[in-house]
Chains A and B, each alone.
Chain A
C-alpha cells in the first residue's frame, strides 16, 4: 500500500459517510423521542389542567359546604355544658321595621345577670379593649295617638371600645326588646349554654342572639367581636 492510499484510508476513517449517516439516524431517533416526550407532556398538560381545575372547583365547593357545615355544625363542650349552633343570617329574609321610640342615655338601669357573690373580677369575660359601658333606656308610646314616650320598652347595656367593637345587650322584663328588623326564627338551630337555650345568628362581622334568662328577655348584638370572644362572653353571663 502506498503512502497516498494510507493517508486516504486515514481520512476516510475520520470523515466517513457511513459513520455520519449512523450519527444522523441516532440524532433523528433522539429528536423523535424528545418530541414524543414533549408531545406527551404537552397533551398530558391538558388533562392535568382539567383535573386541577375540576379538583379546584370540587375543593372550593367542599370548602364552602364545609364552612357552612362548620357554622351549622354544633360545637360541643361537654365540660362546660355548651352546645353551640350558629345560624347564618345572610341566608335569611330580613325586613326592616319602622320603630317609634325614644332612647335616653346616661341612666341607671337594672342589672339583668346573676352577680358574683365572691366579687371575682373575671366573672364576666369581656374583651379587654371594651372598657366603656353605656346604659340606655328605650321608651315607646302607650298608643299611636299618644305624644309621650313613657313606656319602658327595654334597657340597653352597650359595652364598647368607643370605636368599632361593641357588645350591645338589650333586655326587657316582660316582653322582648324592641327590634327594628324582623326575620323568621323558624327552623333556627338552638344553642345550649348551661341548660339555657339560645338562638345565635351570624351576619357578616356581627353576631346576634336571643334568649331568656334570669327573668329577662335578651337580644344581644355584637359588632367586630370574634366568635370566640362572643361565646366566652355568653358562657360567662349564663351561669
Chain B
C-alpha cells in the first residue's frame, strides 16, 4: 500500500480540488472522453511530486491546474488537435431566434422517453462538436448558468443556448418516440 501519511495528504487535496480541476479539464480538453484519463494522470503526477517534496507553501489548486495544462498539451498530438477543431458556426448569425429563449432551458419540455440516459449521454459525448457535451456537463451536472458556461468556454451565450437547444431537439427526435431509437 501507498505510504499512509502521503495518502492522507493526497486524499485531502483530492477532495478539495477534484471538482474545480475536473471543470478546468472538461473546458480545456479537446474531447470530453479524455477527461477521466487526464484527471487521473494529473493526480498521479501530484502523487509522485508530494512523495518527493513538500508542497505546503503553494496554492495547490493553481499548481494542479498547471500540471493539468501540461497533461492536456501532452495528451493531444497536433494532428488530433486539428481533427477536433470545431466546424460548428460559433458566431451568432443564425441563432437570433434561439437567443430570444429564456436563459433557463427546461429539458423537461422535451419529450425524451428513453429510460437509458447513459446511452443518451454517450450520444451527446459522441458529437463531433465537443462544445456540446461540455455545455451539457457544465449546465446539467455542474448547474452553471448559460452566462457562466459561455464565459468558461469563451463563446457567446447565444452559442451555448443554441448548442443545448438544438441538441435537445436532436435527442427528442432520436430518443423521443417511446424509448425506441431512430437508428
What is A's interface to B at a CB cutoff of 8 Å? Answer: 2-4, 6-15, 17, 19-21, 23-25, 27-29, 31-32
Given contacts A10-B117, A24-B14, could you give 16 more A-B pairs where the C-beta distance is less than 8 Å?
A2-B107, A3-B117, A6-B117, A7-B120, A7-B121, A9-B117, A10-B118, A11-B140, A15-B36, A17-B19, A20-B36, A24-B44, A27-B44, A28-B2, A28-B44, A28-B47
Query: Are the CB atoms of B40 and A4 closer together than 8 Å?
Result: no
What separation, in Å, do the CA atoms of A8 and B40 have in the docked complex? 21
Bits for B7-22, please: 1 = Cβ < 8 Å to A, else 0: 0000000100011001
B112's closest neighbor in chain A, by CB?
A3
In the complex, which residues of chain A have a beta carbon less than 8 angstroms from the beta carbon of B121? 7, 10-11, 14
Judge if B108 is at the interface, Cβ distance under 8 Å. Answer: yes
In the complex, which residues of chain A have a beta carbon less than 8 angstroms from the beta carbon of B40? 20, 23-24, 27
Query: Are the CB atoms of A24 and B43 closer together than 8 Å?
Result: yes
What separation, in Å, do the CA atoms of A237 and B102 have in the docked complex? 122
Q: List 17 A-B contacts (CB under 8 A).
A: A3-B108, A3-B112, A4-B140, A7-B140, A8-B140, A10-B117, A10-B118, A10-B120, A14-B121, A14-B122, A15-B137, A15-B141, A24-B47, A25-B2, A28-B47, A29-B1, A31-B48
B15's closest neighbor in chain A, by CB?
A17
B115's closest neighbor in chain A, by CB?
A6
Query: Are the CB atoms of B137 and A11 closer together than 8 Å?
Result: yes
Judge if B64 is at the interface, Cβ distance under 8 Å. Answer: no
Binding site of A, secondary structure by majority: helix, strand, loop or mixed? Answer: helix
What separation, in Å, do the CA atoms of A138 and B67 have in the docked complex? 95
Judge if B35 is at the interface, Cβ distance under 8 Å. Answer: yes
Query: Are the CB atoms of A7 and B117 closer together than 8 Å?
Result: yes
In the complex, which residues of chain A have a beta carbon less than 8 angstroms from the beta carbon of B107? 2-4, 7
Q: Which of B40-59 contact A (CB under 8 A)?
A: 40, 43-44, 47-48
Question: How far does the Cβ of B51 sit from chain A's closest Cβ, in whole Å?
Answer: 9
Q: Using a Cβ–Cβ cut-off of 8 Å, how many residues does chain B contribute to the interface with A?
A: 29
B106's closest neighbor in chain A, by CB?
A4
In the complex, which residues of chain A have a beta carbon less than 8 angstroms from the beta carbon of B18? 17, 20
What separation, in Å, do the CA atoms of A28 and B2 have in the docked complex? 8
Judge if B39 is at the interface, Cβ distance under 8 Å. Answer: yes
Question: How far does the Cβ of B15 sit from chain A's closest Cβ, in whole Å?
Answer: 8
Query: Are the CB atoms of A7 and B136 closer together than 8 Å?
Result: yes
Judge if B63 is at the interface, Cβ distance under 8 Å. Answer: no
Judge if B88 is at the interface, Cβ distance under 8 Å. Answer: no
A12's closest neighbor in chain B, by CB?
B141
In the complex, which residues of chain B have a beta carbon less than 8 angstroms from the beta carbon of A9? 117
Q: Which of B119-161 contact A (CB under 8 A)?
A: 120-122, 125, 136-137, 140-141
Question: How far does the Cβ of A90 sit from chain B's closest Cβ, in whole Å?
Answer: 60
Query: Are the CB atoms of B112 and A20 closer together than 8 Å?
Result: no
- By Cβ-Cβ distance, the 8 closest A-B pairs, closest first, are A10-B117, A10-B121, A6-B117, A11-B141, A3-B107, A10-B118, A24-B43, A7-B140
B110's closest neighbor in chain A, by CB?
A3
In the complex, which residues of chain B have a beta carbon less than 8 angstroms from the beta carbon of A29? 1-2
In the complex, which residues of chain B have a beta carbon less than 8 angstroms from the beta carbon of A14? 118, 121-122, 125
What separation, in Å, do the CA atoms of A25 and B47 have in the docked complex? 10
